[in-house]
Amino acid sequence: MAKAIRKRTWIFGAVVAAGAVGAINYFRVSTDAAQPAVPHVKPATAPSTVTRVTTTRAQAGGAARQTSLPCSAHWHDHADLFAKVSGYLEEQNVDIGSPVEKGQVLSRIAVPELESDIEHAEATREQTLAAVKQAEARKAAAVIGQRVAEATHAKAIADRGRWVAEHTFREKEYQRFKALNKSDSVQAALVDEKLFQLQSVEAGVQSAEAAVLTSREQIAAAQAQTDLADADVSAAKAHAHVATAALNKAKLYASFAEIVSPYDGVITVRNYHRGDFIRSAEKGNGPPMFVVARTSLVRVVVYIPDKEVPYAHVGDAVSIEFDSLPGRVFAGTLSRIAYSEDRNTRSMRAEVDLPNEDGAIVDQMYGRMQIQLEPSAETLTLPSVCLVGDLAAGKGQVFIVRDGVARKESISIGAHDGVNVEILDGVTAEDNVIVRPPAGLSDGTEVHAEASRS
């Protein structure tokens, strides 16, 4: 029985194995029938060893040195207007955006005490001017008195001369009669009469001398009075000058109650309203009452990097475009440069004065400025894409096609603006220079050159 079981087991296993093999063959045949037949592929042709390149020729005219830098617009002139006196804002004639003219009164501050100061100063000045007139009148009287004293002195001198002459005559007469009396020609009584006349004349001479001395002292006294009157006039005028200065000061402070525009422009800031109390700028650090900007002219500020500083000069042509004014290009020239670099940024400030009659440009507008630092030289120019390798110390390399072979040549370069490069030597106008040399191109490679169409 055991043999019968082993025989049936073997037969079953053989049947299972045969079924499995059949199934595998069935699926293999089905899969092969589903796959498409592989076409016959011809062997590829071997690639050509000739490299195709595009060439160009150097153009006459060197590259101009220029730079494009960010810039910003600022009002050419602007003023913060503060109050010089304290008081209440009584009148305000403008607001933000109002156009103003030079000398226009923008606002007025009420300061009653200043008006009182002016009235007091005017009264004081009138008083001092009256004192000047009084002093001048006294001086005139003193001058007249001095002239009278001088005239009296002159008369006294004349009288003394007359008495002296009379004394000389009477003395001679007395001596003559005295001699005649000795010869008994005249009586003694007549001699005595002549002596009396002589003595009377001598008294007159003494009186005249005294009158002369008196008149001289009167002149000195009159001169002193004149000098005193002159001093009084000077003092009165000085007081009047002080009073006038005080009046002018009062009027000046009163004028500070009016805020006036320093030039034609626009109000860009207004910080107070009618009725506000305004504190003098000398007594606090409050904001300005107004900011006035001159809008007809703006200054465009740019910072030139260190490497371009040696080429920047006043008068260099510029073109400016602002981001907020697309399509408009403003032409100008560098108006001023700082001649000093900022130690932090290593750049130099430069400014362009730009007319702004239509007011299109406003403060803080941002844009770009193209500066023509140097004009083009009489050299050759190549596209920058012709260069290969790294640039160092004004040297570079290009590939030139000669007799169907690429030759690497060293060249000297000048200005380089990223698009074109100035060629100082190493390339002629007749050379065919490869544009965008293919990677791996080496000196001596056989090439097929085609001229660039651009």
Nearest to 72 by CA among 294, 275, 368, 278: 368
DSSP code per residue over 94-127: --TT-EE-TT-EEEEEE-HHHHHHHHHHHHHHHH
Q: Pull the structure tokens for residue 156.
A: 């006294």
Q: Facing residues of 265 across strands?
A: 100
Looking at this protein, which amino acid is placed at residue 326? P
Burial (CB count within 10 angstroms: exposed 0-12, middle 13-18, buried 19+), residue 233: buried
Q: Supply the pTM of this predicted model.
A: 0.54
Whether 369 contacts 319, CB under 8 Å: yes
Q: What is the pLDDT along the chain (454 residues), one digit of tens a residue?
A: 333 333 333 333 333 333 433 433 433 333 343 344 434 433 434 345 788 999 998 887 655 678 899 999 999 999 999 998 889 999 999 999 999 999 999 999 998 888 888 888 889 989 999 989 998 898 898 899 888 888 988 888 888 888 888 889 888 888 888 888 888 777 888 888 888 888 888 888 888 888 889 888 888 888 888 888 889 899 999 999 999 998 898 888 888 889 999 999 999 999 999 999 988 888 777 899 999 999 999 999 999 999 899 989 999 999 999 999 999 999 999 999 999 999 999 999 999 999 999 989 999 999 999 998 876 666 788 888 999 887 777 888 999 999 999 999 999 987 777 788 888 888 988 999 999 999 888 888 999 988 887 6
Q: Pull the structure tokens for residue 173.
A: 């007469």
Q: Pull the structure tokens for residue 246.
A: 């005080």
* Max Cα distance, the chain (Å): 242
* Count of positions (residues) in the chain: 454
112-182 and 188-255 helices, crossing angle to 10°: 170
Query: Which domains, ranges and CATH numbers included, belong to the chain?
Result: 55-62+378-451 (2.40.420.20), 114-255 (1.10.287.620)
What are the two backbone dihedrals, phi and then psi, of residue 176, each rounded to the nearest 5 degrees? -70, -45
The residue behind tokens 């073109």 is: 319
Looking at this protein, which amino acid is placed at residue 369? M
What is the Cα–Cα distance from 271 to 94, expressed in whole angstroms?
12
